[in-house]
Amino acid sequence: MRKTMLVILFALAGMMAFSACDSENALSTDGFRDSLAFGTGFGGNGFSLTGESDTFEVATTSMLTFRMESSANFDGRFVRLYFNDITNKDFAACASADAHICLSQFPVSTPGTYVVDAYLVQTIIDIGKETFVASHTFTLE
C-alpha cells in the first residue's frame, strides 16, 4: 500500500512538472502556439515566412523577417524583441486587440549568433509590462 502511494505521488509530481515546462509548445484554445521563427521574407498568405532558417548570409541578407505567434491574443500589446539581452526593437504595428501573430522585418548587418527573446508589452503610464512569449537563436555568417 505504501509503495503504491509513493508511485502515485511520483507519477503525479512528474506529470505536473512536465506539463508546465515547455511554453514553446503552449497551445491556446484557438490553436495558436507560442513560437518565434526567422526567415528572409513574407509568405503569400501574409501569415507565413519564406526562407525560414536559423542561419543567414550577411552578404545576401540585409533584412530579416520574423514571425512571432502567441497562444494568448495581443490585447493591444506590442511586440518587443531582445537581442542577446543587450539591445531591443519594438514593433508597435502588431498591437491589435485580437491578433495572435506578428510578422515584421528588421535590418541586419553584423555577423554573429543572436539569442532573441520575444515579449508582448503592455504600456502602463510610461512603463512597459512585459510577458515572455518565446525565444529563438539565429546566426548571421
Q: What is the pLDDT of residue 16?
A: 33
What is the torsion angle, in degrees rounded to the nearest 10, for the CA atoms of residue 48, residue 53, residue 55 and residue 61? Answer: -40
Domain ranges of the chain: 23-140
pLDDT in tens, 44-92: 887 889 999 999 999 999 999 999 999 998 888 999 999 999 899 999 8
The hierarchical CATH code for the domain 23-140 is 2.60.40
- Backbone Cα Rg of the chain: 19
pLDDT digits (tens, 9 = 90+) for 106-125: 999 999 999 999 999 988 77
Order of strands across the sheet that contains 55-56: 55-56, 127-140, 112-124, 78-83, 87-91
Buried b (16+ CB within 10 A) or exposed e, 26-46: beeeeebebbbbbbbebeeee
- Give CA separation, 33 vs 38, 89, 101, in Å: 16, 22, 10
The answer to whether residue 24 scores a pLDDT higher than 70 is no
Q: What are the angstrom distances between the C-alpha of 126 and each of 37, 75, 121?
A: 29, 18, 12
